[in-house]
Amino acid sequence: MDLAKWVWVSIGYSIIAFCTYGIVSLYQKYIFVKTGKWGILLELSVYVIFYALYTVFSFAYYRSEIIEGYYGFATYFKKIILNIILILTPLLFFVRHYALKLMPAKEDFLTLRGENKMDVLKIKKSDLICISNAQNYVEIFFLDNGTLKSKLLRSSLKRMRSDFDFLLQVHRSHLINPSHFKSWKDASTIALTQMELPVSKNYKRQLLAL
């Protein structure tokens, strides 16, 4: 391979790899938005789709008039693609793994909804202190720039417990965000951020485990 063709190979294969990864990134974003989760099988699917697309695109480029490669597809895959997979996979893993660590953590937001479509409260998870029963409503206690505030939503404590499983029940009328638990004031009362709540005997054990 002369120098000119080597340059075309280097540039062409790099552009193909870049564009292919862009396509795979769109796939990854679509799946994550759709499912809201990511796991080992989905991560493996990124590699499989990337190499499948890269093989097809790069082979078409290899057989084009620019490169004029003479390998058939099977030979091309065996002699070229397998070597690329061995070299590129550790690099891809390193880049994908450490790129996540360099990204700033996103704030975790909660959307609490009542029976009325207009009855919505969106807050940071870290700002939610507790949820208390208020007859046919629930009262949401939360921090807004460090100030304690509350909002009534037409809903039930049972529904809130089902929607947000990180909440801890301390009383038949109260759910708390465990991260705001401060201390025991006495045997039946706990101190949270800027407020206090009673604790029932039935729920005391799990609270003591905090």
pLDDT in tens, the chain (210 residues): 677 888 888 999 999 999 999 999 999 988 887 777 788 898 999 999 999 999 999 999 999 999 989 999 999 999 999 999 999 999 888 888 887 666 555 568 899 999 988 899 999 999 999 999 998 999 999 999 999 999 999 999 999 999 999 999 999 999 999 999 999 999 899 999 999 999 999 898 888 877
- The predicted pLDDT at position 1 comes to 62
- The predicted pLDDT at position 57 comes to 96
pTM: 0.53
DSSP string, 37-88: ---HHHHHHHHHHHHHHHHHHHHHHHTSTTT-----HHHHIIIIIHHHHHHH
**Residues ≥6 apart with Cβ < 8 Å to 72:** none
What number of helices (H) and strands (E) belong to the chain? 6, 10
- The predicted pLDDT at position 104 comes to 56
- The predicted pLDDT at position 207 comes to 86
Q: Domains of the chain, with CATH numbers?
A: 3-102 (no CATH), 109-208 (2.40.50.1020)
- The predicted pLDDT at position 35 comes to 77
- The predicted pLDDT at position 105 comes to 54
